[in-house]
Structure 1
């Protein structure tokens, strides 16, 4: 299959990692945390950010409380992906997600974590644009110069990323190696997003905080 890499019409997929069990939240699956007006599941907000940024297709990797997420979350236009090995860490979810995208025409994927409610479509769109407009094969959002999520992975790098993803280390090692070689595109997003994670009960107020970058 021929794909145009790094052009305006390059299809950029969205890959949402939403399998975590929320161990430090007392075992509350992060995907189901109530967020924003109406208290809808957090997974809906994150998947909506990918869709609103123009990512297609959008695949959502599920693990903890998967049946409840499938039954209770509204994920129109998204493809749920099962990760039975989710307890081994984020690396297994990244591998499952990239494998699920292999049959699609996506030339790259923006990877978003479900537990960062302050990241909206504006940040995702900037990562996708780094590929479409600048030909980036590996890119990462930065916040006042500090590297974080989301990240963009060009299709040609998926095998390497999958091979090195283990435990809670997803694409970190591949991105770090690229940064040392000057081959990682950094995309400042601090003006449109906030990278804070919802990891502990003290972080729960982030679920109802204003959402930057949703315009």
Structure 2
């Protein structure tokens, strides 16, 4: 099932709430496997959606679609937040965005128990190159792998940052 629909949309709502309460505006939700219509997804009010038509090629498609849509806004930074990290809340988003705002590079990412996680925050100056390098299942990873000036923000005290592949109620 599309992860935006997991647990009756709870993961999506949690991600939008974390971003909104963490200080992000606007919020753009990238749809993929759900199809282009937001009718199948109960989007929270005030959220803009875009569809990654090539979603089946990997998460790079969603990353590209989201950044391209963000480029049409006045935003100076983008916080990348997948819906499958439902315990990551606004406190994590606020901590990582503050670090990105303070960093000369404008790059920051959450780290949980020495493991890179989300959100990842990129200043606008990085967007075009980052989305051009995003292919297959590599979103920002390819671009960020060459960046020694990215701030890694420890968030162990706030969340696990665990990526969930299945809702708790799903049989495997």
Q: Structure 2 length normalisation: TM-score?
A: 0.90
Q: 2:168 — aligned with what? A: 205
RMSD over aligned Cα, in angstroms? Answer: 1.9
- 2:162 pairs with 177, 191, 196, which one? 196
The separation in 1 between residues aligned to 2:106 and 2:141, in whole angstroms, is 15
The 4+ residue runs of structure 1 with deviation greater than 6 A are none
Contact 2:34 2:40 in 1 (8 A): no
The separation in 2 between residues aligned to 1:44 and 1:135, in whole angstroms, is 32
**Cα distance change on mapping 1:70 and 1:122 into 2, 3 Å:** farther
The separation in 2 between residues aligned to 1:66 and 1:121, in whole angstroms, is 28
Q: How big is each residue's C-alpha offset from its partner over 1:5-44, in whole Å with a ceiling of 9 and x where there is no partner?
A: xxxxxxxxxxxxxxxxxxxxxxx1111111xxxx554211
Gaps of 5+ in 2: none
The separation in 1 between residues aligned to 2:133 and 2:102, in whole angstroms, is 28
The separation in 2 between residues aligned to 1:69 and 1:120, in whole angstroms, is 24
Gaps of 5+ in 1: 1-27, 208-215
Deviation at residue 67 of structure 1 after TM alignment: 5.8
The separation in 1 between residues aligned to 2:70 and 2:53, in whole angstroms, is 17
Q: 1:99 — aligned with what? A: 68
- 1:47 pairs with 12, 16, 25, which one? 16
Contact 2:52 2:62 in 1 (8 A): yes
Q: Structure 1 length normalisation: TM-score?
A: 0.73
The separation in 1 between residues aligned to 2:40 and 2:142, in whole angstroms, is 35
Q: 1:25 — aligned with what? A: none
Q: Find out whether 1:30 has 2:3 as its counterpart.
A: yes
